[in-house]
Structure 1
Amino acid sequence: MKEVAADWIPVTVTCRVLKLARQPYYRWLAAPVTDAELKEPCRANALFDVHTDAPEFGCRFLLDEAHDAGKPMAERTA
């Protein structure tokens, strides 16, 4: 969208052609990625790596270890 707007095509026209609403586009433009969306894959990768290295550790043990390390998360996330 920014590239199209740089070519002097208004955002309203671009959104209409792409069948997108303007309001969600501007909301995304203000905050494209939230902190929670960044933390979730990092935690998932860390838990996956630990589980791959030592498969005898289950998800509950890894959840407890994460809590002890100061990285609390929901049980369903682990």
Structure 2
Amino acid sequence: MAHGRGGLQPGCVIHSDRGSECTSTRFQDRIRELELRQSCGRTGSCFDNAAAESFWALLKEEIGTRVWPDRATARADVFDFIETFYNRRRLRRHKVFGYLTPPETRQRHRHTLAA
């Protein structure tokens, strides 16, 4: 999904934890197919997963930890949070990133590479 929506270029790094999905042969084959590089956090090191932990904290803060009536509703709410807010509208909270949204950050990065 990140490749399809984000236009990842060959050589980009995909960072994950050591969960079964990310260490599966199918996932690793797809990484190679797309000419991406895989990075996995060290077992038991919370610092390797700081960005992911930050995401989960923001998700819980924004949509809470309520109980949904069914799995489909929960999935729809999480998808909506990720696709309409987190990936498109949220501002990076640090001045180093210029308080830009993720698409603006990518556009600035691409412009810098082209220059």
TM-score by length of 1: 0.31
Bigger Rg over Cα: 1
TM-score by length of 2: 0.23
Q: Which has the higher helix share?
A: 1
